[in-house]
Chains A and B, each alone.
Chain A
Amino acid sequence: MTCEPEHPLHWKWIMNKDLLNQIPADEQRIASTLYSMGEDMKVSPNFEWELETQLIDAAITRTQPVEGWHTKILAPMGWVLFAICSVYMLNWIVRSLPPEQPTAGSASSPEISFESNVRAGNICKGTLAASHNFSVSLTNQNKTGFVTLDEHETIGELRSFSWSPNGQQLAIVGNTTGQGNIYLTDSASNILQPVLSNSEVGYMMGVTWSQNGDRLIAWGLQNKATVYLFNKDGTGFTALDLPVEIFETPQFAPGNESILFYGADSSFDGLFQAMVNGSQLRMISNLVEDEASFAWSPDGSRLAYMEMDRNLGEARLVLEEFDKGGKVVIASLPIPKGSGSSIPSSANLIWSPDGKALVFEFGRGITDRAIYLAYADGTGLVKLADSAHAPAISADGNCLAYISNKQVFLMDLTSTPLSSTTAPSMLLANLPVGRSIAAFQLDKLAWGSGTNPAPRQP
């Protein structure tokens, strides 16, 4: 869907083209009407003038220093007092420290050992991919930093990515002026190759691979009830129309005959399953509310998803034996009750490679979001990291990568007991700055296989 110059609200469409391009076609008219209404909400010139005057006066008053003998003497006195207190405090801390004990056994602490093993490539092998601020990057060979793909920004924005099942090739969603395409990394050079030759799918949101790595499924915003299926060489392109809107990138179910996605029909939103020929739509759970809140177990036998039960006031991590239909709750967290309440969100639900545990993030904002690990047998729920998001477990199951404060950390998942206070962590690298500000929920980390060639150094 593109802007049509003959539309009666043409000037509005031009003015807000980027925004309107991201709105489904059938809602664009009402969106334009709302814009026009906004334009009519004019600030009264008198009010604007008076408030500005008040603000300027207040600002001038605030910025004028108060000259007086007490202000001149107070600052130096404060500094002297601060210095005296600091000396006393330092003295007290030094005296209260226990005498240093000689370390038994190895001279290195467990943290250093974990870091050394990572740097030496003994554990956590494979390339870690990161998407942040509309760019995608890969760790360098020594895992000391990231190398950004499409450095020259030939593509407008790189929104998200997905590793192929063998972990050797990345499918990346790229958008340039509202037109999206899927790009694959070349296994030798990481140059991005467009998959669709004549892309008219509008702004693309996400892509995932079929479980045999032959096909891709993608979705965009121009028509939210349509998913696009195609072979990885771009052939066999099919637009599949569904009777529901899609709000998150679909995933193939084992066998590749059906897809699962978070979406909504006219009555409910939730987790849906649809056959790839468009038939047999069914809702798996109407309590799934968030994106990236479902995941298949590595052997494809179980589906995990997070339910938000607002009536009971709890978020439940559910495992479903997909063929047999049995459901079991393996962990729960409290949420506010009531349908109108604002609840925390969960995201990035992933399985450990051995299928024994799941990791996910849960919380409201970026600072009060934590990463949890739930054992698949229901024996426990462990908070692994505070103020952290975008968890990713390495292929060998030894490392948990996560983002905290714009830095990427690795945690030793083999440590016992496993908790946020005991598990050794190391700083891997700062996140690349990216292209423009994106919500932190778009941040994503994922590990490729150990055999993936590392990208060239810049």
Chain B
Amino acid sequence: MTTLMNIQTPYPSMDDARLAHRARADPEAFAELYHRHVKSVYRYHLAHTGNVKDAEDLTSQTFMAALEGIRSYRGTGPYITWLMGIASRKRSRFFRGNRLEVPLDAALHIPTPSLPTDKAAARRLQMDQVLNALRNISRDRAEAVILCFFCELNFVEAGLVLGKSEAAVKMLISRGLHDLRTRTSLALEVDYE
């Protein structure tokens, strides 16, 4: 077993495209890409499934598929958009397989030991509301909100994943935020701190 956990990879300053090219033959390059993007992929799946176990399973599948298909990444667009494309397909397959979207419960991983219990509970409730609301608004809007705010893609990158223009993504975001605000009632008006 080999692990690079907590080991500084030799490519901290190399851009994603060059890393991806190198990752065809160099496991450490792929590890660096993994470190850079695991958070975005995980959040994407968690936002869609609302369940830590499924999110982890889909994150694993996404990175395994990325490793298998790394040669097919040509560097014509940002690596993160290519990766999120894989994540999107894995998510589609997951929900196509007649698996109902799991209701949110205590499975959400919110490690906030420093917070008082009531505040942590309020936080969980709020996230519960938001993720539920995301499932009930238009798919395109929810996807744009998740990509930009949870996965931290910019509008251009989200547009590349969604196959839409930057302006269209901005429109989706604007509508999505409006929908969330109405569907989550006052939940989001409270400071999330």
B148 at interface, CB cutoff 8 A: yes
**Contact call A49/B5, Cβ cutoff below 8 A:** yes
Query: How many angstroms between the C-alpha atoms of A41 and B46 in the bound complex?
Result: 8
A398 to B139, CA, bound (A): 43
CA distance A231 to B25 in the complex (A): 59
A9 to B192, CA, bound (A): 9
The smallest beta-carbon distance between B101 and chain A, in angstroms, is 16
CB within 8 Å of A: which B133-179 residues: 138-140, 145, 148-152, 154-156, 159-160, 163-168, 170-171, 173-175, 177-178
Residues of chain B with a CB closer than 8 A to A30's CB: 177, 180-181, 188
Which A215-254 residues have a C-beta within 8 angstroms of B?
A: 221, 224, 245, 247-248
Q: How far is the CA of A205 from the CA of B166 in the complex (A)?
A: 10
Q: A30-B177, A52-B5, A53-B1 are in contact. Are A291 and B156 (CB under 8 A)?
A: no
Residues of A near B104 (CB, < 8 A) are none
CB pair B168–A437 under 8 Å, yes or no, is no
> Given A51-B60, A53-B3, A59-B30, A19–B155 Cβ distance below 8 Å?
yes
A41 lies within 8 A of B43 (CB): yes
- Chain A contacts for B181, CB-based, 8 A: 27, 30
With an 8 A cutoff between CB atoms, is A23 at the interface?
yes
CB atoms of A41 and B42 under 8 A apart: yes
Q: How far is the CA of A19 from the CA of B163 in the complex (A)?
A: 19
CB distance from B118 to the nearest CB of A (A): 16
| Distance A256 CA – B155 CA, assembled complex (angstroms) | 33
When distances are taken between beta carbons in the complex, the residues of chain A under 8 Å from B189 are 29
Measured in the bound complex, the distance between the Cα atoms of B155 and A438 in whole Å is 9
24 contacts between A and B (CB under 8 A): A19-B154, A30-B177, A33-B191, A34-B180, A40-B127, A41-B46, A42-B109, A44-B56, A48-B5, A51-B59, A51-B60, A53-B5, A54-B60, A55-B30, A55-B31, A56-B4, A56-B27, A57-B2, A291-B167, A340-B139, A345-B165, A439-B164, A441-B159, A442-B165
A36: Cβ under 8 A from any B Cβ? yes
Asked, given contacts A60-B27, A291-B165, whether A439 binds B160 with beta carbons under 8 Å apart, the answer is yes
Residues of B within 8 A of A340 (CB): 138-139
Counting CB contacts under 8 A, is A365 at the interface? yes
Whether A56 contacts B127 in the complex (CB less than 8 A), given A340-B139, A439-B160, comes out as: no
Q: Does A417 contact B (CB under 8 A)?
A: no
Q: How far is the CA of A269 from the CA of B167 in the complex (A)?
A: 14
- Alpha-carbon separation in the docked complex, A437 to B158 (Å): 12
- A-side contacts of B26, CB under 8 Å: 63
The interface of chain A, by Cβ under 8 A from chain B, is: 8-9, 16, 18-19, 22-24, 27, 29-38, 40-44, 47-49, 51-60, 62-63, 205, 221, 224, 245, 247-248, 264, 269, 290-291, 340, 342, 345, 347, 364-365, 437-439, 441-442
A-B pairs under 8 A by CB, number? 170
Q: Do residues B127 and A43 form an inter-chain contact, with CB atoms below 8 A?
A: no
Q: Are B31 and A441 in contact (CB under 8 A)?
A: no
Q: A-facing mask of B59-72, CB < 8 A → 1, else 0? A: 11001100100000
Given A31-B149, A47-B56, A55-B63, also A40-B123 (CB < 8 A): yes
Q: Is the CB of B192 within 8 A of A247?
A: no
> Which listed residue, A29, A37, A59, A269, touches B130 by the CB 8 Å rule?
A37
Answer yes or no: B112 CB below 8 A from chain A CBs: yes
Contact yes or no, B126 A37, CB < 8 A: yes
Number of contacting residues on B, CB 8 A?
Answer: 70
- Interface residues of B, Cβ cutoff 8 Å to A: 1-5, 23, 25-27, 30-31, 34-35, 38-39, 42-43, 46-47, 52, 56, 59-60, 63-64, 67, 77-78, 109-112, 123, 126-127, 130, 138-140, 145, 148-152, 154-156, 159-160, 163-168, 170-171, 173-175, 177-178, 180-181, 188-189, 191-193
A62 to B35, CA, bound (A): 20
**Residues of the B chain whose Cβ atoms lie less than 8 Å from the Cβ of A264:** 171, 175
Q: Are B166 and A438 in contact (CB under 8 A)?
A: yes
A91 to B116, CA, bound (A): 81
Contact of B163 among A31, A364, A437 (CB under 8 A): A364
Q: How far is the CA of A248 from the CA of B168 in the complex (A)?
A: 9
Contact A437 B167 (CB under 8 A): no
* Contact A44–B52 (Cβ < 8 Å): yes
Residues on the A chain within 8 Å of B138, using CB: 340
Q: Are A245 and B3 in contact (CB under 8 A)?
A: no
Query: Cα distance A221–B139 when bound, in Å?
Result: 23
Residues of B within 8 A of A291 (CB): 165, 167-168
The minimal Cβ–Cβ distance linking B130 to chain A, given in whole angstroms, is: 6
Cβ-neighbour of A38 out of B3, B4, B149, B164 (below 8 A):
B149
Q: Are the CB atoms of A34 and B150 closer together than 8 Å?
A: yes
Cβ distance B69 to chain A, nearest Cβ, rounded Å: 11
Q: How far in angstroms is the closest Cβ of chain B from A264?
A: 8
